[in-house]
Structure 1
Amino acid sequence: MRITTKSLAVTVLAASLSACANSSSTSKKQTAEYYAQLGAGYLQKNRLELAQENLDKALKVNRNSKDALHYSALLQERLGNMQKADSLFKRAMQLDSKNPELLNNYGSHLCKQGQYKAAVTAFNAALQDPLYETPEFAYTNAGVCLQSAKVSDQAEGYYRKALERNPNFPLALYQMAELEYARGENAKAQAFLYRYNERAQSTAETLFLCYKINRALNDSTATEECVTKLIAQFPNSVEAKQIN
């Protein structure tokens, strides 16, 4: 799933679909799993109506499908139905409280609601699983949440742990660039943003940060280049309008 620089990192793991949902030998649980994974696949592709259709089918077959509840929560959150998403997340957590991907996504949900302490607790719980394959997501999310709570020093610790695990993780690189810029450490911010740009595509947020950093460094040529790219690539963005 594409990760934007402004968002918390959410993971959706869609398994390959090899079973036929209509097979007479397929149990209700397997059928629900089939529809849940199909829904997850559509969610990854941002085809929300088809995601909703298949996740609803999964829950109709098995109202306690852990994956269907998890992915339905993510879908409702994307649709802006935060109260419904919260209810679905809580049901999923009752059934699958040690799943690191679920804990990461639930932590992201809590952080968006301003429940920073509970969110970091969820991220740390995800990180306790030695089999968690992408802990850089939870480390970075914990940092984002702590930064939102104005605890920058602790946030930096989590970002650095994310980069220890995956030195090329774009979201952590961007967050470190933002953090260093906020501190007035513009050369360090520029170095982190350069590493980000080597590994990920520019966004309105990264180009706006590029503009701010180079303006602070009094590099008019680089500043103008950042502005030109921002307006050309993202003319309707909030960042482009701020510059205009």
Structure 2
Amino acid sequence: MPRDASLPPLAAGVFAMLLAGCASDGGARPASGGRSPGGTVKEAGSAKTEAARVNTELGQKYMAQGKLELALEKLTRALQNDPRYVDAHTVIAVLYETINEQALAEEHYRRATQLKPKSGSEANNYGAYLCKIGRYDEAATYFERAITDPFYQTPVVALTNAGTCAIKGGKFDAAERDLKLALDRGPDNAEALFQMAMVLYRKDDFFRARAFIQRYESLGQPSPESLLLGRNIELRLGNADAATDYTRRLRQNFPESEQARSLDAPSSS
């Protein structure tokens, strides 16, 4: 399920704001013998935030290299530097999820949303995590929060996640609604096209499901999942030749996939 922070580069805009804050704190000082109220505290806070930023960036780089122990060390240090640094909570949540420390992963995803309660990105990330562990109704509330953030730059991601999660929760009408909204905003969103085909298949709307799987394929991104779904749609429509073609392509292009192996099971439709 797409997330905004499953190891992306940390937002350049966030870094720019932090650096700008450091620059402003380092401005003119009062004449000798005077001190601005709280000035030292502000400067110390900016230094700690900058240290958190640097350690978060290092932790993320170590994660990308597969050096997870070093990554955890840097990210833990980042949160020691500044416990309110949201990017550190997000990235360490991804790390804990990777090493199957699920309670800690949830703690940090949730903390990120608490620190930035109106942020679509953090809400989407937590929603995606909740969906992964099967808490579909809770996930839906966070996807809704993400979608309603007017400053969220990728609402299509949250809408697609909301639709995908609704399918898992058996709420097909809600899934179709969210995926339609995602496709209204991004007609070539491959994941939304595939998931729309899936939900329509689950709703026994096979002709429309075929149309969406064909749109997905027109993007040139066949996958084992899409080929199996296309095969099953054609079987339901009684088109044996098209189903056979999907079967051939699945076996030929993805012979070791779970989907190809499923063709040998007693029932794969």
Q: Same fold (TM over 0.5)?
A: yes
In structure 2, stretches of 5+ residues that fail to align are 20-25, 27-45, 265-269
Q: Helix, strand or coil: the match of 2:166?
A: helix
Partner residue, 2:239: 219
Cα pair distance change 1:121/1:186, threshold 3 Å? same
Identity over the aligned pairs, expressed in percent?
33
Cα pair distance change 1:102/1:149, threshold 3 Å? same
Following superposition, the deviation at residue 219 of structure 1 comes to: 3.2
Distance (whole Å) between structure 2 residues aligned to residue 227 and residue 81 of structure 1: 39
Cα pair distance change 1:156/1:83, threshold 3 Å? same
Q: Helix, strand or coil: the match of 2:235?
A: helix
| Structure ranking higher on relative contact order (CA contacts 8 Å, 6+ apart) | 1
Q: What amino acid is aligned across from residue 110 of structure 2 in structure 1?
A: K
> Is residue 87 from structure 1 mapped to residue 107 from structure 2 by the alignment?
yes
> Is residue 149 from structure 1 mapped to residue 169 from structure 2 by the alignment?
yes
Q: What is the Cα-based RMSD across aligned positions, in Å?
A: 2.6
Cα pair distance change 1:82/1:130, threshold 3 Å? same
Contact 2:53 2:78 in 1 (8 A): yes
Question: Which of 151, 172, 176 is residue 192 of structure 2 equivalent to?
Answer: 172
Distance (whole Å) between structure 1 residues aligned to residue 72 and residue 221 of structure 2: 29
Partner residue, 2:267: none
Partner residue, 2:120: 100
Contact 2:231 2:246 in 1 (8 A): yes
Q: Helix, strand or coil: the match of 1:10?
A: coil
Per-residue CA deviation, residues 89-117 of structure 1 (Å, 9 max, x unaligned), is 12222222222111001011112222222
Partner residue, 1:186: 206
Q: Helix, strand or coil: the match of 1:27?
A: helix
Distance (whole Å) between structure 2 residues aligned to residue 34 and residue 96 of structure 1: 20
> Is residue 10 from structure 1 mapped to residue 3 from structure 2 by the alignment?
yes
**TM-score for both structures, normalised by structure 2:** 0.76
Partner residue, 2:146: 126
Contact 2:172 2:203 in 1 (8 A): no
Following superposition, the deviation at residue 57 of structure 1 comes to: 4.2
Q: Size of the alignment, in residue pairs?
A: 231
- Give the stretch that moved more between structures: 57-66 or 167-176: 57-66
Contact 1:159 1:175 in 2 (8 A): yes
Distance (whole Å) between structure 2 residues aligned to residue 165 and residue 223 of structure 1: 31
Aligned counterparts, 1:12-51, within 5 A: 12=5, 13-15=8-10, 27-40=47-60, 45=64, 47=66, 49=68, 51=71
> Is residue 232 from structure 1 mapped to residue 252 from structure 2 by the alignment?
yes
**TM-score for both structures, normalised by structure 1:** 0.83
Contact 1:14 1:38 in 2 (8 A): no
Distance (whole Å) between structure 1 residues aligned to residue 62 and residue 221 of structure 2: 23
Question: Which of 216, 219, 228 is residue 208 of structure 1 equivalent to?
Answer: 228
Distance (whole Å) between structure 1 residues aligned to residue 65 and residue 199 of structure 2: 30
